[in-house]
Amino acid sequence: MKFAFSTLGVPGLPIPDVVRLAAAHGYHGVELRAHPEEPVHPGLGPAERADVAAEFKAGGIEVLGLAGYARVAAPGDDTPVLDEIRELLGLARDLGAPFIRVFPGADPGQDPGEADATAARRLGTAAEYAADLGVRILLETHDSHRTGADAIRVLGAVGHRQVGSLWDVMHTWLGGEQPAETYAALSPFLGYVQVKDIASAEDTTPLPLGAGVLPLAECVELLSRRGWDGWLCWEYEKRWYEAAAPLAGLLGPGREHLSRLLNDAA
């Protein structure tokens, strides 16, 4: 397996510094938070995109994916959502990233069947753009579709190879789903896995990997046993928790912890 971290943990950090952090601590790649307040977002022009791609190539670090914020199950017109996804796909193509992340994002009280159908319709349409650009759209286990069982209702209806799943281990755990259940649902669609750690269901402040309650060892052991050889990406949500310890000092121990879990699972 390969290791990456998300720039959500180092908000606003210039790309050269992100690349240096990844290389210094033995990470193979980086997930870029694609938002206007970050250095990388769909508003970048061609020259800026080329510069970002060159920085990563020179540092020997891969751009794993772009974490976008399109809400594919949200009520309303399809056009703005599809436009947002299309822009993100174009940016991913230009940066050489194989994946983009989208959220389910159904509104509270929205009819679940309607939300599923809306998400499947939009993802099915966007899949054609994604196929042309060689990028895969991943639906994260998050918000209205927190578990693998929730996500599979949408992914099964889409049935397109360019649309897959991003397993966020915190959200499936908070949804009461066991890792084996999540893997059984998502394995045919799995793009990569977001790992993290928290103190409890009531306190989701990010902690160093291994310092909290999430079943990371069980997840890594399961993935290893099933022969999955993809990416583990540490999403340390410093952007939302200003009091959390800085990620830079945790990256080395975090990679070592993941390596131990992988060795133990072998």
Fold exhibited by the domain 2-265: TIM Barrel (3.20.20)
Question: What is the C-alpha R_g of the chain?
Answer: 17
Q: Which amino acid is at 106?
A: A
Kindly state the tokens that stand for 87: 């822009």
d(CA 212, CA 54): 37
Round to the nearest angstrom and report the end-to-end CA distance of the chain: 11
Give the range among 48-52, 87-91, 204-208, 240-244 with minimum mean pLDDT. 240-244
Rounded to the nearest integer, the mean pLDDT of the chain is 97
The whole-number pLDDT of residue 76 equals: 97
Alpha-carbon distance of 68 to 52, in angstroms, equals 17
Read off the pLDDT band of 265 (50, 70, 90).
confident
d(CA 137, CA 174): 24
Percentage of the chain lying above the pLDDT 70 cut: 100
- The answer, yes or no, to whether residue 260 has pLDDT greater than 90, is yes
Q: What is the mean pLDDT of residues 87-106?
A: 98
Cα distance between residue 63 and residue 41, in whole Å? 13
Cα–Cα distance for residue pair 223/64, rounded to 1 Å: 19
Per-residue pLDDT at 45:
98
78 residue type, one letter: D
Judge whether residue 37 has pLDDT over 90: yes
What average pLDDT does this structure show over 31-54?
Answer: 97
User: Three-state SS for 126?
Assistant: helix
Handedness of CA 13, 18, 24, 29 (dihedral sign): positive
Among residues 160, 226, 158, the alpha carbon closest in space to that of 193 is found at 226
H-only helix segments in 134-250:
148-158, 169-174, 179-186, 216-225
Q: Provide the pLDDT for residue 202.
A: 97
Question: Phi, psi (5° rounding) for residue 67?
Answer: -90, 100
CA distance linking residue 85 with residue 243, whole number of Å: 32
Residues 165-185: pLDDT tens digits?
A: 999 999 999 999 999 999 999
Burial of 166 (0-12, 13-18, 19+ CB in 10 A): buried
pLDDT tier for residue 7 given thresholds of 50, 70 and 90? very high
Is the pLDDT at 266 greater than 90? The verdict is no
pTM (two decimals): 0.97
Residue 154 has a pLDDT of: 98
Whether the per-residue pLDDT at 41 is higher than 90: the answer is yes
Buried b (16+ CB within 10 A) or exposed e, 38-64: bbbbbebeeeebeebbebbeebebbbb
Domain residues of the chain, as ranges? Answer: 2-265
d(CA 21, CA 56): 12
Confidence of residue 53 (pLDDT cuts 50, 70, 90): very high
